[in-house]
């Protein structure tokens, strides 16, 4: 528990850094575009400017009634304004509410309804959508980031001007004060609002620094923009990439390489989809010293290609975690490569050792709520069960979702009489004899056949090694306990259609080599798997299962 209330704020490092090095670059953002189509990155914020301007915005927001504890929906694209605004809200002690705008429209409206924000801050298009679609109708204050239209309330520029010269605005936030509500990607259902307290953010910074050996002075390319919010607290400069952050799989690798080379970027974060873009591009990355990828398991071939492109001394890290708890465990690319053969034979994906001081334990699989740890059946090494985590970054509730909270959280009484919350990851896994954690798939994605359960990460890698297969997805059709296991197959691009049946026959032959894969009943070709909107990496297996059920019914 952090004892100093002022230090318990992710924006707390800004005034210190601004005092130490006011002219040091904190952030570069794409600006004017040259004749070659590449951004010039001529929008620069120093630590002094980031601190001073976020103070002004915090003071201006207070004049609009946005103060400590106010819930504020933020729908702003990655830009200087987004980061200035987020730091201003943290400084004010307000509670930013972040929802992926690309989710289903009905789900988005439900999320905003649950949050019941007092204010709505967005780009003109978002402000217009709010008015037309009645998003967050109870919001009393509306602020437009950009050009104001008649329905948009004051602009952020006006807000900043009103607060200019107000001086430092850092609130004395307490560790348990709510800092933000971050909605999950919704890849396994309607997104849930994860309640982040200030101690969670501060702990994340500390765990990330220690886990990856991050030291001040580096230059980071955070291709998932919210991660850039950690950079000032870590003493890093951020270069916001010239790409659509909602479509990392479609990023232009030439633009990424141009930024990496121009600014000597030594650290990069990206989803597995973005890593594949860089791996397939095949150009060396000589300045990088630390690369991290999360959001879904990174395919083994992508890890191997990235290791070839990076300097020998560089680290390629794949942290395991979730919005509710991050980081949980971490593994470096070399060790991941060393476990590749086991993964391809059905062992699951090794995600490494738990990050101290996290306590990771495996419990028996159940879909029921577990109110107290005394009711838990804890499993030993090699037994597959649900992964649970207790630690400083494990969040303790979903906002106004008591049923979801009950299913995901377990209260534990410690020997000294104190209590803590244990988070159920909703993932299945096991520990090996070396204490390494292996991920076997989502609990909700397990296929429950009459002969026993099958787990996605123990099945799909067996088939993904086929050179003419892009990827596979295991789904179940029918009633749990009597489901038929179906392997959905996405063929490699440009493979002629007349070759598809041959590849399916080869996959059936491969399945006979393992007891668990031999239980797959059907093989179906799918043109392109649905994926999550946040990382473009998590396969939408619920959607695929519904498609497979219809396909099998039509065929019979």
For 230-280, write each residue's pLDDT tens digit: 998 898 999 999 999 888 999 999 999 999 999 999 999 999 999 999 999
Vertex 176: Cα angle to 172 and 178 (nearest 5) = 85
pLDDT of 2 reads 39
CB atoms within 10 A of CB 437: 24
Model confidence pLDDT, tens digit, residues 509-546? 999 999 999 999 999 999 999 988 766 678 999 999 99
The pTM of this model reads 0.93
What does the H/E/C string look like for 8-58? CCCCCHHHHHHHHCCCCEEEEECCCECCCCCECCCEEEEHHHHHHHHHHHH
Sequence-separated (6 or more) residues with CB below 8 Å from residue 531: 249, 273, 537, 538, 539, 540
348-441: in CATH 2.40.50.70: no
Query: What is the residue extent of each domain of the chain?
Result: 13-239, 348-441, 451-555
| Half-sphere exposure at residue 55, Cβ-oriented, CA atoms within 13 angstroms | 17
Nearest to 445 by CA among 180, 69, 189, 131: 189
Give the residue from 249, 224, 248, 219 showing the smallest Cα distance to 234: 219
Beta bridge partners of 539: 531
Q: Give the chain's residues under pLDDT 50.
A: 1-6
In degrees and rounded to multiples of 5, residue 185 shows phi and psi of -70, -15
d(CA 462, CA 514): 9
Report the DSSP beta bridge partners of residue 292: 269, 317
Q: Cα separation of 17 and 231, whole Å? A: 12
Element spanning 269, H or E? strand 267-270
Secondary-structure percent of the chain, ordered helix, strand, coil, rounded to 5? 35, 25, 40
Helix or strand run (H / E) with residue 259: helix 253-263
Residues 6 or more apart from 491 whose CB is under 8 A from it? Answer: 468, 469, 470, 500, 503, 525
Tokens found for residue 539: 């396969």
Q: Which of 255, 292, 232 is nearest to 27 (CA)?
A: 232
Check: CB of residue 314 under 8 Å from CB of residue 289. Answer: yes
Q: Pick from 49, 43, 63: which is nearest to 159 by CA?
A: 63
**Cα–Cα distances in Å, from 108 out to 75, 134, 178?**
12, 11, 21
For the stretch 278-289, pLDDT in tens is: 999 999 999 999
Are 13-239 and 348-441 the same fold in CATH? no
- Tell me if 450 sits within 8 A of 364, measured CB to CB: no
* Residue 264 to residue 441: CA distance in whole angstroms: 37
CA distance linking residue 2 with residue 114, whole number of Å: 30
451-555, what's its fold? GMP Synthetase; Chain A, domain 3 (3.30.300)
pLDDT (0 to 100) of residue 446: 97
The pLDDT, as a whole number, for residue 105 is 80
Which residues, other chains included, contact 156 with Cβ-Cβ below 8 Å and sequence gap of 6+? 57, 81, 84, 85, 121, 143, 144, 145, 146
The b-or-e profile of 227-249 (16+ CB within 10 A means b, else e) is bbbbbbbbbbbbbbbbbebbebe
Contact predicate 463/472, CB 8 Å:
yes
The CA distance from 187 to 323, in Å, is: 12
Query: Which CATH code is given to the segment(s) 13-239?
Result: 3.40.50.12780
Q: Which SS3 state, helix, strand or coil, does residue 221 take? A: strand
- Residue 120's SS3 state is strand
User: What radius of gyration do the chain's Cα atoms show?
Assistant: 24
Both tokens of 417, joined, read 């009489």
Q: Kindly report the backbone phi and psi dihedral angles of residue 182, in degrees, each rounded to the nearest multiple of 5, phi listed first.
A: -110, 115
The dihedral built from the CA positions of residue 508, 538, 319 and 243, taken in this order, carries a sign that is positive
Q: What pLDDT does 187 receive?
A: 63
């Amino acid at each position: 528990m952090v004892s100093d209330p002022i230090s318990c704020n992710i924006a707390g490092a800004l005034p210190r850094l601004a005092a130490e090095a006011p002219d040091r670059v904190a952030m570069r953002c794409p600006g004017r575009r040259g004749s070659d189509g590449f951004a010039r990155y001529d929008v620069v914020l120093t630590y002094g400017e980031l601190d001073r301007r976020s103070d002004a915005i915090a003071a201006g927001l207070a004049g609009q009634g946005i103060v400590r504890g106010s819930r504020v929906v933020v729908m702003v694209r990655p830009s200087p304004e987004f980061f200035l605004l987020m730091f201003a809200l943290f400084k004010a002690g307000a509670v930013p509410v972040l929802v992926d705008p690309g989710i289903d429209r009905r789900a988005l409206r439900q999320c905003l309804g649950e949050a019941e924000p007092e204010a709505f801050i967005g780009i003109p298009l978002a402000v217009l959508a709010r008015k037309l679609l009645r998003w967050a109708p109870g919001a009393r204050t509306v602020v437009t980031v950009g050009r104001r239209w008649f329905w948009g309330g004051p602009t952020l520029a006006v807000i900043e001007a009103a607060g200019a010269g107000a001086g430092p605005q850092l609130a004395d936030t307490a560790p348990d004060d709510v800092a933000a509500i971050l909605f999950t990607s919704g890849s396994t259902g309607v997104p849930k609002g994860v309640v982040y307290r200030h101690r969670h953010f501060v702990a994340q910074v500390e765990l990330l620094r220690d886990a990856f050996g991050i030291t001040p002075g580096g230059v980071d390319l955070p291709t998932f923009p919210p991660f850039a919010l950690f950079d000032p607290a870590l003493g890093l400069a951020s270069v916001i990439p010239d790409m659509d952050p909602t479509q990392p799989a479609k990023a232009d690798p030439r633009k990424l390489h141009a930024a990496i080379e121009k600014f000597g970027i030594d650290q990069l974060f990206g989803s597995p989809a973005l890593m594949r873009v860089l791996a397939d591009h095949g150009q060396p990355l000589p300045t990088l010293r630390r690369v991290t990828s999360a959001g879904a398991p990174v395919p083994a071939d992508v890890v191997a290609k990235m290791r070839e492109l990076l300097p020998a001394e560089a680290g390629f890290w794949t942290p395991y975690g979730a919005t509710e708890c991050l980081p949980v465990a971490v593994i470096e690319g070399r060790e991941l490569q060393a476990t590749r053969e086991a993964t391809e034979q059905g062992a699951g994906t090794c995600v490494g050792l738990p990050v101290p001081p996290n306590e990771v334990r495996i419990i028996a699989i159940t879909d029921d709520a577990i109110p107290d740890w005394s009711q838990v059946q804890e499993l030993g090494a090699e037994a597959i069960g649900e992964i649970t985590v207790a630690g400083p970054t494990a969040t303790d509730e979903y906002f106004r979702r008591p049923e979801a909270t009950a299913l995901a959280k377990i209260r534990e009484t410690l020997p000294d009489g104190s209590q803590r919350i244990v988070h159920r990851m909703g993932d299945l896994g096991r520990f090996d004899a070396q204490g390494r954690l292996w991920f076997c798939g989502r609990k909700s994605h397990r296929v429950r056949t009459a002969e026993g359960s099958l787990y996605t990460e123990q099945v799909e890698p067996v088939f993904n090694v086929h050179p003419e297969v892009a990827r596979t997805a295991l789904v179940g059709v029918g009633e749990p306990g009597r489901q038929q296991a179906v392997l959905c197959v996405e063929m490699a691009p440009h493979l002629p259609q007349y070759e598809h049946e041959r590849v399916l026959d080869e996959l059936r032959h491969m399945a006979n080599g393992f007891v668990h894969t031999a239980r797959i009943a059907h093989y179906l070709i799918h043109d392109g798997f649905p994926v999550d909107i946040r990382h473009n990496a998590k396969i939408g297996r619920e959607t695929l299962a519904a498609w497979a059920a219809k396909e099998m019914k039509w065929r019979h």
